[in-house]
Structure 1
């Protein structure tokens, strides 16, 4: 499984995912780094068969309106510390990994837990 973490997602999560055997990278390490436009990020993850992890609601809108990015995990947790974020992702990872094997998926992690929405495409 391959994962791209968006600009406002902590590098610590990338490290934890790698420790778990996930091929993870941060957007700051590809394309134009933190200056990469959302459309280019979406195209990159779709082309490279990746799951995008982001806090950005614009990606949610693009997923449902345009079908890109195909696989998306949106973090809707507010300002949690990095340790809490890593703990939450780690605890939900088996389900995230399973759902992310589908051609398209939208997951949202909030204080209510992990929510899965059905794709429109």
Structure 2
């Protein structure tokens, strides 16, 4: 599976996804880096069939209104250290991948993986 990690999340997540066997890029890898507008991130995600991984609520609003991007994972942990974020994501990553096979919008909290239908 292919992912694009948004600016509010650490670049280190790219390596977490890659180490799990997935293709991942960060907005820092894009020409405009972390200033890339959301609509361009969505366009890139759709052109390259990437899942957008973000903390940005604007992506949720866009998804609800337009069903774009096609696949969205929202990290809803609030302020959290990179170490704590990795501790949450590593064990739930297989479930995220499985859920994305049939679902378009997931939310990761400190306690659960929420699948929005």
| Interval containing the TM-score (normalised by the shorter chain) | over 0.9
SS for the counterpart of 1:18 is helix
Deviation per CA, 1:7-50, whole angstroms, max 9, x where unpaired? 01111111121111111110110141111111111111011111
- What is the SS of the residue equivalent to 1:74? strand
CA RMSD of aligned residues (A): 1.2
How many angstroms apart in 1 are the aligned matches of 2:110 and 2:85? 11
Please say if residues 73 and 106 of structure 1, whose CA atoms lie closer than 8 Å, have aligned partners that are also in contact: yes
1:92-120 deviation digits (Å, cap 9, x = unpaired)? 11111112223x510011123110101xx
Q: How many residues align?
A: 117
TM-score scaled by structure 1? 0.90
| Secondary structure class of the residue paired with 1:69 | coil
User: Could you tell me how far apart the structure 1 residues matched to 2:46 and 2:76 are?
Assistant: 22
Aligned to 1:12: 12
Give the TM-score, by structure 2 length.
Answer: 0.93
Native 8 Å contact 2:4 2:24 kept in 1: yes
Runs of 4+ in 1 over 3 A off after TM superposition: none
1:109 aligns with 2:108: yes
1:39 equivalenced with 2:39 (yes/no): yes
Please list every run of 5 or more consecutive structure 1 residues that lacks an aligned counterpart in the other structure: none
5+ residue gaps in structure 2? none
**Per-residue deviation, residues 43-100 of structure 1 (Å, max 9, x unmatched):** 1101111111100000011111111011000011011111111121111111111122
